[in-house]
Amino acid sequence: MPYITTTDGTEIFYKDWGSGQPIIFSHGWPLNSDAWDVELKLAADNGFRAIAHDRRGHGRSSQTWLGNDMDTYAADLAELVDALNLSDIILVGHSTGGGEAVRFAAQHGAGRVAKIATAGAVPPVMVKSETNPEGTPIEVFDGLRAGVLADRSQFFKDLSESFFGINHGFDVSPGQRDQFWRLGMQMGLKGAYDCIKAFSETDFTEDLKALDVPIFIAHGGDDQIVPIAAAAEKTIKLVKNGTLKVYPGAPHGIAGAYQQELDKDLLEFWQS
């Protein structure tokens, strides 16, 4: 399996399918690059080079004690881009991966990134504060941390209900829920715990303001994990060249009818 080794000795696993203009896919928490397999094949089938990595602490990459923060995630991605000598890059990020893509583009991607697509992404900032009253209270994230520590396996099974909107009647197969659990259980405990702070408390406001490439912002209208009012609806006001599409009734997890519609829109955006 292909890996790169970063300057701090972390092994980052990645997939590299097809050839053409590169598209890099960044996954959400608690998943890994397998979550993007359908989109990787879609990209490679349509003349793109599809690349997806497992973030440190996730999947097949090293389970590091340190570096489970957004700056390091973006730096790891930059080292992957350097190792593969990539340019004219399209970035695609879901949830936490949307934050990773935005930070990479703002801090490491000048002259190398052509366009960005996000889905259910965490920017500009998730946690509630006086300046972000639409955000999610810190107690919710404390609850996630407690769940990860107490019984991670059952916690991920329970979390899939709201992740995929099953509790709101969204049609997702039992297999999809099992896959969510499987990918979550491949993640290291320390990475799982630390990443909650990374995705919930990192402020991407200045990163978004710095972007000057086209950005397609997709968000489920019934996203219970990253509520749209504190995320996409604010992001579109901060970027210079953005397009927002809301998928009515769609959840946070990319599955079912939402995935089918989103993939059509992603392919159109990549080819535009």
Task: List residues with catalytic annotation.
Answer: 95, 223, 252
Letter for the amino acid at 230?
A
Distance CA 255, CA 154 (A): 21
Structure tokens at 84: 């593969």
Residue 85 region, left (φ>0) first, then alpha (ψ -120 to 50), else beta?
left
